[in-house]
Each structure stands twice: as structure tokens, then as C-alpha cells.
């Protein structure tokens, strides 16, 4: 991202979520606030997206990863989770459209510039900030995630759930595994849902070309993809970090579960969704 500016890829992800509500009627993931918080002409966005069929695969993947994360969160709340941390929150709307479970505290972590932009969008759209939500702006060049969360009132002794969507590919491996080790080491127990991509060289030619096109697009926005993972190797590293459960949905599994009628090659695109847990 550019200094002092909100994340452009956060806006792009929010646009995909909003357009999904129009072009696919939110069939994978219903979000009545997706367009409202974005504050743009939904029909114009839908027409533009409909004119570029290659965008549908990413749009469906983004809808699926959000659905997967929120379904996993609902189950985890039943297992005693009392804190939700949304890492790289962008324009995520969970806290504003869901009646929180009794006692659930929500922390939205993001770069200060992106979080300031979100708060402006919330105010402009007249979307109320719920009492259960705490904003935790963290500039990772100046402070750590543990310090930022502690300053916001996060209690590491309580059972917690982290969503980390659309972020991992933009981080270096040391940064990724430092965060994962922190989550796995929380004394209260934790789960995290995140997404990642396979190395381009491991994909079939058509899928590789599609991934490289998307990578070039986000690089133009100043937010390049830098990390890719092999599923088997990542599983080993997650368990070595302290996670005792690892659920990894690959492209074919995601397509079969969430959009079997719209596969058209999406099953080969290389995106994975992972849930890693210590309880």
C-alpha cells in the first residue's frame, strides 16, 4: 500500500463481495452491508464485472473464504470462543450485520490508514459501530500484533478465533509464521482461518496464466504477492508451530462445496482456505 493511503486490494476485495450480492444474489455468502459500506454504484460495478468473466473465479473464491470463516466461527463460539480478531479487516462487515454471541468481543486489526478509511465509510453509510467492537490500528513497522492487541484490551487467556483473509499472500514467510506462532501459543487456545495460493509453477498452464495475471494486477496496485505454499509442506509447518488440527480446502474441494454449478475451471485456480486450531 501507498504511505498514508488505505489498501487498494482491501477495496478490491470489498468490491468482489458487493458484486457477488448482485450477480450471484449472494448465494454463497449473503452480506446486506457489502454494497452500502463500499458506497459505490452497485449496478455499475456489476456491469463492469460481468464484462470481465475471468473475475468470477476470484469473486466466488472470496465469497467462499468468507462463508467458510464465518461457519467455522459459529462452531467455535459453541466451543467457548469469546474473542474474535479480524486481521486485515478492510471493509469486513461481520461485526455490523451479525448479532454477536453473548459475551463475544470483536477486535478489528488493520493499518491505521485503512482503518481510518473504513471508519469514514461507516460514518458516511450510517452504519453503527456495535459496543462489542474495538478498533485496533497497528502499524507493523512500529509495533507488533501482540502489543497492538494488548493495548486494545485483548485477553490472551480467553479462547479466541482469528480471521486472516486476503492477507497472507502479501506477507513474507517470516512475518506469516511469526503471527501463526503467536496465535498457536495463546494460553487460552485459538483457531485461525486464512487463505493462500499454491506456487504458480505447480499449476496447469491455464491456471498458472490466470494466477500470474491476477498477481500482476495487484502488483500494479503496489501490493504484490510474495508468498506461496505447498499444501503438504504447510501442514507440517503449521503443526510444528503448535496447531493440533489443520483443515485445508483446496480449489477442487472449495468449488465442490460452495459453487459446483459454476466451476468452469475455478477448481484449478490454486487458492486454498485453511482452518488451524489448538482446540
Question: pLDDT tens, 173-187?
Answer: 999 999 999 999 999
Question: Is-contact 89 109, C-beta < 8 A?
Answer: yes
CA–CA distance, 165 with 145 (Å, rounded to integer)? 16
Question: Is-contact 136 86, C-beta < 8 A?
Answer: no
Could you tell me which of 160, 147, 40 has the C-alpha nearest to residue 103? Answer: 160
CA–CA distance, 118 with 134 (Å, rounded to integer)? 13
Q: Return the higher-pLDDT residue of 188 and 225.
A: 188
CA–CA distance, 145 with 200 (Å, rounded to integer)? 30
Contacts of 159 (CB under 8 A, 6+ apart): 76, 79, 80, 81, 82, 83, 188, 189, 190, 279
User: Per-residue pLDDT for 220 more than 80?
Assistant: no
Q: Which is it for strands 190-197 and 271-277: parallel, antiparallel or unpaired?
A: antiparallel
Return the HEC string of 15-55: HHHHHHHHHCCCCCCCCCCHHHHHCCCHHHHHHHHHCCCCH
Question: pLDDT tens, 40-59?
Answer: 999 999 999 999 988 898 99
| Averaged pLDDT score across all residues of the chain | 91
State which CATH number among 3.40.1180.10, 2.40.50.100, 3.40.50.620, 3.40.50.150 fits the domain covering 8-277: 3.40.50.150
3-class state of residue 275 by DSSP: strand
- Which of 4-8, 22-26, 88-92, 249-253 is the least confident region? 4-8
Instruction: Give me 128's grid cell.
Output: 453503527
Q: From the CB of residue 100, how many other CB atoms can be counted at a distance below 10 Å?
A: 16
Amino acid at each position: 500500500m501507498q504511505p498514508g493511503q488505505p489498501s487498494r486490494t482491501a477495496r478490491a476485495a470489498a468490491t468482489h463481495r458487493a458484486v457477488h450480492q448482485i450477480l450471484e444474489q449472494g448465494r454463497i455468502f449473503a452480506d446486506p452491508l457489502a454494497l452500502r459500506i463500499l458506497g459505490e454504484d452497485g449496478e455499475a460495478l456489476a456491469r463492469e464485472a460481468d464484462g470481465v468473466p475471468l473475475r468470477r473465479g476470484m469473486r466466488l473464491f472470496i465469497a467462499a473464504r468468507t462463508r467458510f470463516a464465518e461457519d467455522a466461527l459459529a462452531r467455535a463460539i459453541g466451543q467457548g470462543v469469546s474473542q474474535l480478531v479480524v486481521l486485515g479487516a478492510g471493509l469486513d462487515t461481520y461485526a455490523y450485520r451479525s448479532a454477536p454471541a453473548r459475551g463475544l468481543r470483536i477486535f478489528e486489526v488493520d493499518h491505521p490508514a485503512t482503518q481510518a478509511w473504513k471508519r469514514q465509510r461507516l460514518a458516511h453509510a450510517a452504519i453503527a459501530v456495535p459496543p462489542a467492537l474495538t478498533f485496533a490500528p497497528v502499524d507493523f513497522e512500529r509495533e507488533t500484533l501482540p502489543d497492538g492487541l494488548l493495548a486494545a484490551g485483548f485477553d490472551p487467556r480467553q479462547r479466541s478465533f482469528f480471521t486472516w483473509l486476503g492477507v497472507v499472500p502479501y506477507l513474507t514467510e517470516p512475518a506469516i509464521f511469526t503471527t501463526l506462532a503467536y496465535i498457536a501459543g495463546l494460553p487460552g487456545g485459538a483457531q485461525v482461518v486464512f487463505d493462500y495460493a499454491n506456487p504458480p509453477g505447480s499449476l496447469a498452464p491455464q491456471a498458472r496464466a490466470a494466477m500470474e495475471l491476477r498477481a500482476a494486477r495487484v502488483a500494479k496496485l503496489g501490493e504484490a504477492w510474495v508468498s506461496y505454499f505447498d499444501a503438504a509442506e504447510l501442514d507440517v509447518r503449521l503443526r510444528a508451530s503448535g496447531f493440533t488440527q489443520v483443515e485445508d480446502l483446496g480449489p477442487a474441494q472449495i468449488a465442490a462445496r460452495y459453487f459446483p454449478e459454476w466451476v468452469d475451471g475455478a477448481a484449478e485456480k490454486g487458492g486454498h482456505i485453511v482452518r488451524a486450531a489448538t482446540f
